[in-house]
Amino acid sequence: MVVGVMGAMPEEIEPILARLSDVRKHEIADNIYYTALYGSLDLVVAYSKIGKVFSSLTASTMIEKFGVQKMLFSGVAGAINPELKIGDLIAATKLCQHDLDITAFGHPYGYVPEGKVFVEANPKLLEIAAQVAYKQGIVLKRGVVATGDQFVADEARKEWIAQTFGADALEMEGAAVAVVCDALGIPFFILRAISDAADMDAGFDFDAFLHSSSAKSADFIFAMLDEIDQAQ
């Protein structure tokens, strides 16, 4: 089985690559894709760069050029649900594009004709994630993740996204990956570590958090890969 592992930034895939051997590099469409064998799984690893266009391009390339059959994405997100705290892990149950707006034509926010507002994550992969969380003794929260090509710092905008979409967290890639995978029939899973929240400390060091959360997420992703491998 060919499994894709994605992040948006180099830091999000470095802990993944560090645990693989005999890694091969492939340069396609101004990006680098890494392939390696993990157990019986053929892994394809890449960081997309930030935003919906780059993440769509990367996901499509992994599926069309490398034959990825399942997609796992890990990275960071901001909380808009006050129950989420810095460091929490959240698995997206469904994703939407909060900046997609053709309401002038009578459509709801996040919708385009022949599309849908929400794309749902694969139930089986969510089940595997729940099993991994239980075995690791950690809390894995679930919720709606909203994606847009903007870093949202405005509190009024955050509240609007929360109310309009019932969203729990915000980021810049997940829904784009979800749309690609859904269109091409590829099961996907989006894992996010909360990097900022309403109660965050002014002394918060994002760079330090990014490295620590990436290592934590990598452990989680590898545990999921082990479960997928064993199920083969």
pLDDT at 198: 54
> Six-digit token pair at 169?
């967290």
The CATH number fitting domain 2-231, selected from 3.40.630.30, 3.40.190.10, 3.40.50.1970, 3.40.50.1580: 3.40.50.1580
Which among 206, 211, 169, 208 is positioned nearest to 190, based on CA atoms? 169
For residue 196, indicate whether it is catalytic: yes
Please say whether the beta carbons of 139 and 149 come within 8 A. no
Choosing from 12, 99, 171, 182, the catalytic residue is: 12
Tell me the torsion sign for CA atoms 78, 167, 16, 32: negative
Residue 71 bridge partners (DSSP): 4, 188
Q: Each residue of 153-179: pLDDT tens digit?
A: 888 999 999 999 999 999 999 999 999
Angstrom distance (rounded) from CA 191 to CA 84: 14
Q: What is the pTM of this model?
A: 0.93
For residue 154, indicate whether it is catalytic: no
Q: How many C-beta neighbours within 10 Å does residue 230 have? A: 9
Return the amino acid letter for 220: F
pLDDT at 204: 63
Name the pLDDT band for 138 (thresholds 50, 70, 90): very high
Pairing between β-strand 41-47 and β-strand 89-97 as defined by DSSP bridges? unpaired
Name the pLDDT band for 205 (thresholds 50, 70, 90): confident
pLDDT at 199 > cutoff 60:
no
Domain borders along the chain are 2-231
Q: Each residue of 84-113: pLDDT tens digit?
A: 988 899 999 999 999 999 999 999 999 999
pLDDT at 203: 56
Residue 195, Ramachandran bin (φ over 0: left; ψ between -120 and 50: alpha; else beta): alpha
Please say whether the beta carbons of 173 and 181 come within 8 A. no
Name the pLDDT band for 200 (thresholds 50, 70, 90): low
| Average pLDDT rounded to a whole number, residues 202-220 | 78
Angstrom distance (rounded) from CA 161 to CA 146: 8
pLDDT at 28: 97
What share of the chain has pLDDT > 90, as a percent? 82
Choosing from 99, 168, 182, 196, the catalytic residue is: 196
Angstrom distance (rounded) from CA 193 to CA 60: 24
Name the pLDDT band for 201 (thresholds 50, 70, 90): low
* Alpha carbon 197 to its chain's center: 18
